[in-house]
């Protein structure tokens, strides 16, 4: 038998795989990590994650996870999640989230991503239209994975980059899924009550018309993974609490990934009409994207004591807010000094929306910053600060706005970042 050499260029994949785009944020983080490996001191504010040495998960949750592994809870979990956890989540939602969902309306997933993926698979057919605001996290990729048509709504800083009913209204008739997120990744801002109410009223009016015509309903995917992390007087609102009729049309994305700094523990959930969550459960049986059984049982144990949950939240919210406020005040100081930067006051999540209006500026070496990529690279190379442009979240390529994530930084890093930025900005003309 002769050996046959196959060139990599001869291998073929599906059309979907051929044209898929990887995470722009992870790509940028890879470039940053390479600089760090080369010995550069970089303030890496890119990834929406936590440094567990700075923000560890609750000690009680960690102990409970270890205990469940020691108790040999390592086989398959229930397809829709362990009943113990679904009971705990149901109570959490009712007592802290103003939502009443029974355990059989809740499906546990391996973090928020499988919840989003299966919601899309359960509701969106090939060729359907998915409407979502930008900047927002990964809606474009999930739409692509379903061979659906994306409709992007460009939001504005005047409304803290949250979409309005007026902006959404023109697309109601063609939409099959409306993907919303609050608190919003990447901005750290939230829906105002009146704005979300107006959007709900649009959806309800559209579905009243569709009920007459027999057309498939318009559903809303509401990603509220950051809802416990609100600061100051900021309040979190959801469609079902504001308009109970939205219960028939809303699928939630939720979990402990952000509220408990537990991104790697991989415990999330979705809740909605049982007829839909049953189908989501069926899809998951083939995908297998379940949270591990030990983590599920441990999370159930932890959430059974909402007092310790509240104590942890109060502590982590204070730490996160201290960083966000520190960065916000630092950017406002730079702005007052005449530098072309700005920031939107923090409201929630682990993100600050910041602006660098540096297009057209010239570096000390005589190079002109023409594109957003030029600006991003200058901030990284000269200030040693890594942040993510809104263009990575679907905003226009020339947007001057960025996401700054605080989950991996120490409080003392704030002044270092602002000082480095001041030095870099002072070299531009």
Digit-coded pLDDT (tens) for 368-414: 999 999 999 999 999 999 999 999 999 999 999 999 999 999 999 99
E strands, 55-171, in order: 106-109, 129-134, 149-154
Options 3.40.640.10, 3.40.470.10, 3.30.70.100, 3.40.50.720; CATH of 75-305? 3.40.640.10
Mean pLDDT of 74-81: 97
**pLDDT, position 5:** 65
Indicate the domain borders of the chain: 8-55+311-426, 75-305
Could you tell me if 251 and 221 are in contact, meaning their C-beta atoms sit under 8 angstroms apart? Answer: yes
User: Which comes out higher in pLDDT, residue 26 or 88?
Assistant: 88
Radius of gyration in angstroms for the set of CA atoms belonging to the chain, rounded to a whole number: 23
pLDDT greater at residue 17 or residue 7: 17
- Of the candidates 255, 291, 254, 288, the one whose C-alpha atom is nearest the C-alpha of residue 81 is 291
Q: What average pLDDT does this structure show over 210-234?
A: 96
Tell me what pLDDT residue 147 has. 95
**What's the pLDDT tens digit per position in 361-371?**
999 999 999 99
Provide the mean pLDDT of the chain.
95
Q: What's the sign of the alpha-carbon dihedral 72, 74, 79, 85? A: positive
CATH topology of domain 8-55+311-426: 3.90.1150
pLDDT for res 3: 57
Indicate the pLDDT class of residue 1, thresholds 50, 70 and 90: very low
Using left for φ > 0, alpha for ψ between -120 and 50, and beta otherwise, residue 15 falls in alpha
Tokens for 197, please give them. 């109410």
State percent of the chain over pLDDT 70: 98
- Rounded to whole angstroms, the Cα distance separating 378 from 386 reads 10
């Amino acid at each position: 038998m002769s050996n046959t050499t196959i060139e990599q260029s001869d291998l073929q994949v599906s059309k979907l795989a051929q044209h898929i785009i990887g995470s722009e944020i992870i790509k940028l983080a890879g470039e940053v990590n390479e600089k760090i490996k080369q010995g550069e001191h970089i303030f890496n504010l890119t990834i929406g994650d936590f440094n567990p040495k700075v923000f560890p998960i609750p000690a009680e949750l960690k102990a409970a996870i270890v205990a469940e592994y020691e108790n040999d809870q390592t086989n398959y979990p229930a397809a829709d999640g362990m009943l113990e956890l679904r009971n705990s989540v149901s109570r959490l939602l009712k007592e802290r989230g103003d939502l009443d969902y029974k355990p059989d309306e809740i499906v546990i997933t391996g973090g928020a991503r499988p919840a989003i993926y299966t919601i899309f698979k359960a509701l969106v057919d090939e060729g359907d239209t998915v409407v979502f605001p930008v900047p927002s996290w990964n809606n474009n990729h999930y739409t692509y994975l379903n061979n659906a048509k994306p409709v992007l709504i460009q939001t504005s800083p005047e409304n803290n980059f949250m979409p309005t009913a007026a902006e959404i209204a023109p697309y109601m008739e063609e939409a099959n899924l409306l993907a919303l997120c609050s608190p919003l990744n990447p901005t750290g801002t939230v829906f105002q009550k009146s704005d979300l109410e107006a959007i709900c009223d649009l959806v309800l009016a559209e579905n009243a018309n569709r009920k007459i015509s027999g057309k498939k309903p318009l559903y809303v995917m509401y990603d509220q993974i950051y809802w416990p992390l609100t600061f100051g007087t900021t309040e979190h609102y959801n469609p079902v609490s504001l308009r109970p009729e939205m219960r028939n049309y809303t699928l939630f994305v939720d979990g402990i990934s952000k509220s408990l700094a537990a991104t790697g523990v991989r415990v999330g959930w979705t809740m909605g009409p049982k007829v839909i969550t049953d189908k989501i459960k069926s899809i998951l049986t083939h995908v297998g994207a379940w949270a591990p059984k030990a983590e599920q049982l441990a999370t159930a144990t932890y959430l059974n004591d909402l007092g310790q949950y509240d104590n942890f939240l109060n502590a982590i919210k204070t730490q996160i807010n201290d960083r966000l406020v520190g960065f916000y005040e630092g950017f406002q100081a730079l702005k007052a000094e005449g530098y072309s930067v700005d920031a939107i006051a923090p409201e929630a999540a682990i993100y600050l929306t910041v602006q660098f209006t540096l297009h057209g500026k010239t570096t000390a070496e005589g190079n002109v910053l023409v594109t957003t990529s030029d600006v991003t690279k200058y901030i990284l190379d000269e200030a040693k600060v890594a942040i993510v442009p809104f263009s990575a979240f679907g905003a226009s390529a020339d947007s001057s706005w960025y996401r700054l994530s605080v989950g991996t930084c120490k409080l003392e890093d704030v002044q270092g970042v602002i000082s480095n930025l001041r030095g870099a900005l002072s070299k531009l003309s």
